[in-house]
Amino acid sequence: MPESLRGKGVIAGIAMGKVMIVGQNLDGYLKNYKPEDQAKEAGKIEEALQAVAEMLQGNVRTLQEKNMPEQAAIMEAHRMMAQDPMLSGSMMEKVGELGSAPEAVLAAAGESAAMFEQMEDAYFRERAVDIRDVGKRIAKYILGVKEPAMGDGAVILCGYEIEPSVIANIPTEKIAGVLLGAGSTTCHAVIIAKARAIPTVVGIGDDIQKIADRDDVIIDGERGDILIDPSEETRETYEEKLAKQQELKSYYAKLAPLPAVTTDGAHVTLAANIGTHMDVDTALTYGCEGVGLFRSEFVFMGRKDIPNEEDQFKAYKEAVEKCQGKLCVIRTMDIGGDKPLPYLNIPKEDNPFLGCRAVRISLHRRDLFLPQLKAILRAGVYGKVAIMVPMIINVDEFKKVREFFEEAKVELTHEGKAYSDSVQLGIMVETPAAAVMAPILAKYVDFFSIGTNDLVQYTLAVDRGNHNISYLYSHFNPAVIMLIQRTIQAGIDKGIWVGMCGEMASDPYAAVILLAMGISELSMSAPSIPKVKEKIRSVSMERAKEVLAEVMKMEDGNEIKEYLHKAL
């Protein structure tokens, strides 16, 4: 009997195929496992850690060879977890308590994951899945559990949680879609699926149990619809949609080398948001014109201590070189009390989003900030580079940043190290304070980049990770639109360029009004670039200004969104 479910569509596209349930339950294997003495159990853990690290290293190489840098970076993070002395040390302690190697591995991984799950930041909460994934891999190696075999056709992977390694290790052509009971846009399973443009629906909850292995399923990754055992008539309808989807994919591929120019010749730069230098290659295939946001905190994560200047220089240099002369905007470390960097010794805070984070830490930690600035300045020799400072709220903070910036140059000169004197220094406008102060701040900075994710939540007092009030979170809220227009106009008045690197930048309809406001650059996740480019190339600047004029008369965010979809 046909049945329909509803989740949250996070990666658009139609997928049809048979379900493959993944994420095996190990209870039966654990029950049948016969532990030996403690020394032998500890030896099994050591062997498994080494073997899993080598397997992951092999995965990294394979993914790099297949030009899948984002997936490779995630698997590299998993390899580092498998070789983390703290995690392995905890496993050895647990084997003394529990007597069973696989149970000790799962218990240690579970404890570590639980720490992440208590964090405020959604991104870091969902890293718990990665730790459990690594723990499960190690336990499965000890237990001798094999991965499920793939059939001939493409499947729809389904599970309450799907380990990122499962998706990363299956060839793209074998995965039609992904269904997750839990999950969100920031879990690594979704990040990998997004890099491959695999239609994905998350947040199905316990209804995931209504889907059985080998069920025929159709999913709509945009609407979040899931159709189980569809009728022949429904199947034919979706086959037509699937054919149109393939035509659109081919069309977008042809757009990649074309500029984002309106019908009357106005140009906006479409750049990519990246987490590691390996992401640049993928972004270029989607037609990006540089990097608008390099999240440098990834250089600081997965380590026992602060990365030194040389380590950072190598990471930034590779990204800059891969940009091939196009601008690479590197954001200074955006870390806070909610993020797991033990070596920073940041005390736990009741509200870390309003606490000691980002530039507030940098300005108080010369040992952190100065080496980072020096490393970026040195990377500037190999291309076009800009430094973006997050969470600035006043002029005094930026003046202190500028002092560090100049001191970094002086030190490099004394050390005889080459650096670029043309590196721009700008700020991320992500607080209402910075947006209100934009006309003043514009006198001191080289550029603005508007970070809408935080700007929306701070302006509207809406936690973007709180599902109960998610209906209030909208970048089309007039208060947000007014602050954005004020920021862009302040930049124009002072002759500096203004970009945007939040989620709003990837909204094709928002792109039109931002273009009319005078934005210079839009930076987004690479797969979003073709849709935004298509919309920009379909309108004239004159029409965009007419639409903006109407939007600025409106009093409600939903009204604005509905109008844009009708008008464009």
The set of catalytic residues is: 188, 501
Query: Could you tell me the two tokens for 415?
Result: 């050390």
Element (H, E) at 554: none
d(CA 213, CA 555): 49
CA angle (281, 284, 286) in 5-degree steps = 120
Give the torsion sign (CA, 556, 557, 561, 562).
negative
CA angle (209, 211, 212) in 5-degree steps = 100
Place of tokens 């890293």: 127
Q: Is 329 helix (H, G, I), strand (E, B) or coil?
A: strand
Residue type at position 350: D
Element (H, E) at 85: helix 85-98
> 190 with 169: CB under 8 angstroms?
no
Q: What is the DSSP string of 150-183?
A: P-SS-EEEEESS--HHHHHTS-GGGEEEEEESS-
Query: Could you tell me the two tokens for 106?
Result: 């799962």
CA angle (72, 73, 77) in 5-degree steps = 115
d(CA 190, CA 163): 10
d(CA 532, CA 273): 14
> 374 with 380: CB under 8 angstroms?
no
Query: Could you tell me the two tokens for 69?
Result: 């840098």
d(CA 301, CA 130): 14
Query: Could you tell me the two tokens for 308?
Result: 């030194």
Inter-residue long-range contacts of 57-62, CB under 8 Å, 24+ positions, other chains counted? 59/165, 59/168, 59/169
